[in-house]
Amino acid sequence: MEILTMSLIKVDLNEIYEISRDILTSYEVTLEDSEVVINSLLDAEISGVSSHGLLRLKSYTERIESGVINVHPKIRVEKDLNNVLLLNGDNGLGQVVAQKAIQLCFDKLSTNSAVTVLVQNSNHFGTSGFYTKQAASRGYLSLVFSNAGPTMAPWGGTEPLLGTNPLSAAFPGSNTNFMLDMATSASAKGKIRAMKNASENIPKGWAIDEKGDDTQDPDKVLNGGTMLPIGNHKGYGLSMLVDTLCAGLTGASLSYETVSVGNTKRDANIGHFFYMIKIDDLLPLESFQRRMDDWFETIKTSNKREGFEEIYIPGEIEEKKKDDITNSIHLNEKVYKEILKIAEERKIS
């Protein structure tokens, strides 16, 4: 372990992987399922999205301890309409349920050109991009949405009735894949927690306090405040759309009916939405990729505004960060200490 700043430390990647995985297996999560979850969290960390990284492990274990996450889910298909399926996650860990959903998509695309898998009775599943990246690597275009606990006010309101409701879209180029991964709020709430851990103020326009006033204090947001939608009414509308696809069509809880990832009182019944197209059934994949590559190059070589050194394709920055990772990652010191404390309590060496 190497201390870099007051809040960041350098930790061995394999070591933190094994400790985190073993924490989950100590709660009787299977080894395979534990690896799925930790792969998701570490993918977020090494992509620079610490708000959805190992910060989340503590809340997952607290929900498992409280009995509001099922570590032995019987994930099952409730409806199979050939290329539209409804999957019941049986209140399993969100990443485990989501990985089952995308595997169903992959299986169905062996005989279909497009497939939709809708999910009920799940939990927080990490980053949406973790799943769309897997689809892009197989030559598919994909959309992945999830609803979330109530943390965002409707545009013009003060009550947290909507979730940050993330969405991701990805498709393959030859050299660079397009991968958009975003919250429908001005920021993911996990980023607020991460900034609190780093003793940083949040930017203006991200959130309001319990009185409905703008605030840059992460404590005021996390204690009675609420997030604001990205792009004002646009993010508000997108959040409602995600809720409709993930909950309205599935029987999962709408955002205002469910609970936040840190709640230990009741099941979340989160909903997800997965959609994939097999590009090669519409036109040769190589032709599609070449055209996208030309498009990317046109964008990247276009005139830049003052202060911008490079124009990036969505997802490119995260991939560059992953390429820079070798055997270690930079982890928030508080998060690292929390993980070590849990490991000690679970008697993990």
**Ramachandran angles phi, psi of 26, nearest 5°:** -70, -20
Q: How far apart are CA 339 and CA 313, in angstroms?
A: 34
SS3 86: strand
Q: State residue 206's pLDDT score.
A: 94
Express each pLDDT in 258-304 by its tens digit: 999 999 999 999 999 999 999 999 999 999 999 999 999 999 999 99
Cβ neighbour number for residue 295 with a 10 Å cutoff: 13
Confidence of residue 189 (pLDDT cuts 50, 70, 90): confident
Tokens of 25: 């297996």
What does the CA dihedral 43, 49, 54, 59 come to, rounded to 10 degrees?
Answer: -120
In this prediction the pTM is: 0.94
Mean pLDDT over the full length of the chain: 95
Q: State residue 263's pLDDT score.
A: 94
Domain 72-284+321-329: which topology? Ribosomal Protein S8; Chain: A, domain 1 (3.30.1370)
Q: Is residue 6 predicted with pLDDT exceeding 80?
A: no
What's the whole-number mean pLDDT along residues 103-110? Answer: 98
Q: Is residue 4 predicted with pLDDT exceeding 60?
A: no
Question: Domain boundaries in the chain?
Answer: 72-284+321-329
SS3 118: strand
Confidence of residue 335 (pLDDT cuts 50, 70, 90): very high
Tokens of 236: 């508000």
178-182 and 167-171 strand pairing: antiparallel
Express each pLDDT in 308-326 by its tens digit: 999 999 999 999 888 888 7
Q: State residue 349's pLDDT score.
A: 79
Q: State residue 151's pLDDT score.
A: 93
Three-point CA angle 236, 273, 134, nearest 5°: 115
Express each pLDDT in 141-156 by its tens digit: 999 999 999 999 999 9
Confidence of residue 194 (pLDDT cuts 50, 70, 90): confident
DSSP codes of every residue in 242-285: HHIIIIITTSPPPGGGS--TT--SS---EEEEEEEEEGGGTS-H
Express each pLDDT in 116-143 by its tens digit: 999 999 999 999 999 999 999 999 999 9
Percent residues over pLDDT 90 in the chain:
89
For 5-20, letters b (16+ CB in 10 Å) and e give eebbbebebeebbebb
Confidence of residue 188 (pLDDT cuts 50, 70, 90): confident
Among 57-66, 190-199, 289-298, the least confident range: 190-199
Percent residues over pLDDT 70 in the chain:
98
Q: Is residue 226 predicted with pLDDT exceeding 70?
A: yes
Express each pLDDT in 231-252 by its tens digit: 999 999 999 999 999 999 999 9
